[in-house]
């Protein structure tokens, strides 16, 4: 293909259709290019199809909105995207991805992963915002170093420090509950109380381990 086969048609100063060009852009050589620009020339929009990998590209510099289904029944699937092979990727590297609906269903044929480096929140943060959370599975695992669920399931570092000792689990749970319940009797620190109790049951080594674990959790 050479530049002699190039065709370009303009429809006024704001819209053009181009094909057969040797011009190569970021996506590769164009099979066709349809472009438009605002009167001020500050916002561009184009549709293009490219040689090489066969990339079809829609590019717009401001908002993009798709509307459909105005004549569909509420039970119909009004909008769908289909990926026959490969991955389906949605990126918002400098913003949020928001999905809103009466009911949202995420269904995986094999595995579902929720990943975050800082925090994963399920439900509204304010009390009463979310009525109920259900976990249904044959096996449920919880691996944690702290938190009230970790203490309830005896998986927190406080329980780990007493593993193999003679300190009853109920006593450890009571101490863990106290860490979230305010001041201790006599103004003693939680670490001191845990050390005293653990020493009485399991000896000096258990007492030192208990004090260190509680101090770590409350620091």
Q: pLDDT, tens digit, for every residue of 65-91?
A: 999 999 999 999 999 999 999 999 999
117-129 average pLDDT score:
94
Per-residue burial over 118-141, b if 16 or more Cβ lie within 10 Å, else e, is eeeeeeeeeeeeeeeeeeeeeeee
Answer with the residue of higher pLDDT: 70 or 178. 70
Read off the tokens for 37. Answer: 């620009």
pLDDT the model gives residue 182: 44
184-190 average pLDDT score:
48
In sequence order, the β-bridge partners of residue 10 are 16
d(CA 145, CA 151): 9
Q: Which of 152-156, 180-184, 203-207 comes out lowest in average pLDDT? A: 180-184
* pTM of structure: 0.62
d(CA 204, CA 215): 17
Answer with the residue of higher pLDDT: 162 or 145. 145
Q: Where are the domains of the chain?
A: 3-60, 148-218
Confidence of residue 17 (pLDDT cuts 50, 70, 90): very high
d(CA 46, CA 68): 21
- Cα 69 to Cα 66, 189, 201: the distances in Å are 10, 64, 69
- Cα 105 to Cα 62, 100, 101, 183, 216: the distances in Å are 30, 11, 10, 45, 40
pLDDT the model gives residue 170: 53
């Amino acid at each position: 293909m050479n530049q002699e086969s190039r065709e370009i048609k303009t429809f006024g100063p704001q819209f053009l259709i181009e094909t057969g060009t040797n011009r190569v852009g970021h996506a590769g050589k164009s099979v066709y290019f349809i472009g438009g620009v605002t009167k001020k020339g500050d916002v561009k929009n184009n549709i293009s199809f490219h040689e090489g990998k066969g990339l079809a590209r829609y590019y717009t510099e401001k908002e993009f909105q798709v509307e459909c289904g105005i004549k569909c029944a509420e039970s119909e699937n009004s909008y769908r995207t289909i990926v026959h092979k490969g991955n389906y990727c949605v990126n918002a590297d400098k913003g949020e991805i928001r999905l809103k609906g009466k009911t949202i269903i995420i269904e995986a044929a094999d595995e579902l992963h929720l990943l975050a480096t800082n925090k994963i929140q399920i439900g509204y943060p304010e009390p009463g915002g979310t009525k109920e959370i259900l976990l249904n599975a044959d096996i449920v695992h919880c691996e944690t170093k702290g938190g009230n669920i970790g203490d309830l399931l005896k998986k927190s570092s406080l329980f780990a420090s007493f593993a193999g000792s003679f300190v009853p689990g109920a006593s450890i749970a009571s101490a863990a509950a106290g860490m979230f319940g305010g001041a201790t009797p006599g103004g003693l620190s939680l670490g001191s109380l845990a050390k005293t109790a653990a020493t009485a049951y399991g000896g000096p080594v258990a007492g030192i381990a208990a004090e260190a674990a509680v101090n770590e959790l409350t620091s």
